[in-house]
Amino acid sequence: MPIALWALTISAFAIGTTEFVIMGLLPEVAANLGVSLSSAGLLVTGYALGVFVGAPLLTATTGRLPRKTLLVALMVVFVVGNLACAIAPDYTTLMIGRVVASFAHGAFFGVGSVVATSLVPKEKQASAIALMFTGLTVANVLGVPFGTWLGQSYGWRATFWAVTVIGVIALAATAVLVPRSQGGEETDFGKEVRVLMRPQVMLGLLMTVLGFGGVFAAFTYIAPILTDLSGFPASAVSPILLLFGLGLVIGNLAGGKLADKKLMATLLGSLVLLAAVLVLFGLTVDNKVAAIIGVGLMGMAAFATVPPLQMRVLEKATGAPNLASSANIAAFNLGNAAGAWLGGVTIDHGPGLHAVPYVAALLPLAGIVVALVSWKMDAGRATAQHGSSSDTAAC
């Protein structure tokens, strides 16, 4: 693989770390800035909404720029946002920094995927994309646990300083290693929007929102769940999150292989698994051993949904791959935002922290209903086409 791909991988690692590491630091941020736990949780919501808005917006407005120029510009935005977080004197500044950093997220992965495929022969393009996204999974295996430990040991700002440094390294690597490119291909944005509005595409995006909404409703508050309900010391959160990251890698690989064989069956099965794991986690969270296992299973179930959810949207969005890809990234992050908000409401106005996993399970359960409706629409269309073909043959 060309060395330029590693610049993209480092960037993906930095972006993945800054997105997820805040979950392990919510108690420290809340205590230091004098805000409630649920208010600190809105830092997850703010980031996710930034990606939700930024992904399609930047896709629509930057398509003609040279891709290397755009990647460098996005990493500058990322560095500035995380630097603002590191020096933030108050909650408002921290939120603004998170939102600024989030704008780089969606567009980077969309443009980065195109650049990755342009660097290798056609038979290696899938592997090139996988290598870039390895940075995201490694962020959850190494970056998030280390960032959590660093923030707990030296203050949460130290974590954002570290991410800023990694961002600068990724920026330099992108500027030096990624070759120059021409502007992106001109596309009919109006046509892509019309494709995106197809009922099956919209149902696919809704499944993505509900599936990852369930993940983030629980995972956003994983640190207080482990310390307040499971009885772990704060120092134990970081190594436990390592298991979550390992689960992500396993689930992502398994979900991808199974989705290649039977897409809708894998999609439904992964949503069922996610709902079951969340309920089981809620039932056993007061047992330390079971809680540790539950965190690992949560990671596995969470990313087992990602390949089939991505493939379902792209399958139904023929003719609009660029916008569909960005829209699905936006949908994942809308789910992240909604889940983090729902978890906070459950803590402040609902049954409380102990009920968060159960409330989280309601979202993938709703996703199962949507998936069944979508699958039935496929079956109905196939039956109609078969009937039409039979009538033609009879004539």
Phi (first) and psi of residue 245, to 5 degrees = -65, -40
**CATH topology (fold) of 1-186:** Growth Hormone; Chain: A; (1.20.1250)
Q: Which CATH number fits domain 188-389: 3.40.50.300, 3.40.50.920, 2.60.40.3880, 1.20.1250.20?
A: 1.20.1250.20
Does this model's pTM top 0.85? My answer is no
Alpha-carbon distance values, 162 to 85, 143, 167, 366 (Å): 11, 10, 9, 38
- The answer to whether residues 40 and 166 touch, using CB atoms and an 8 Å cutoff, is no
Averaged pLDDT score across all residues of the chain? 87
242-286 pLDDT, tens digit each = 899 889 888 887 887 788 788 899 999 999 999 999 999 999 999
Alpha-carbon distance values, 174 to 13, 68, 162, 170 (Å): 13, 8, 18, 6
> Which of 128-132, 196-200, 234-238, 335-339 shows the lowest per-residue confidence on average (mean pLDDT)?
128-132
pLDDT of 69 reads: 87
> Which of 35-39, 110-114, 287-291 shows the lowest per-residue confidence on average (mean pLDDT)?
110-114
pLDDT band at 231 (very low <50, low <70, confident <90, very high): very high
Is residue 182 pLDDT above 60, yes or no? no
pLDDT of 384 reads: 63
Q: Which of 148, 16, 155 is nearest to 87 (CA)?
A: 155
> Which of 125-134, 212-221, 337-346, 347-356 shows the lowest per-residue confidence on average (mean pLDDT)?
125-134
Ramachandran area for residue 314 (φ above 0: left; ψ -120 to 50: alpha; else beta):
alpha
Which residue ranges does the chain devote to CATH 1.20.1250.20? 1-186, 188-389
Q: Which residue has the higher pLDDT, 126 or 310?
A: 310
pLDDT band at 180 (very low <50, low <70, confident <90, very high): confident
pLDDT of 123 reads: 64
83-100 pLDDT, tens digit each = 999 999 999 999 999 999
Q: Which residue has the higher pLDDT, 293 or 69?
A: 293
Question: What b/e readout covers 195-221, taking b as 16+ CB neighbours within 10 angstroms?
Answer: bbebebbbbbbbbbbbbbbbbbbbbbb
Phi (first) and psi of residue 171, to 5 degrees = -60, -45
Q: How far apart, in whole angstroms, are the C-alpha atoms of residue 155 and residue 160?
A: 10
pLDDT of 108 reads: 85
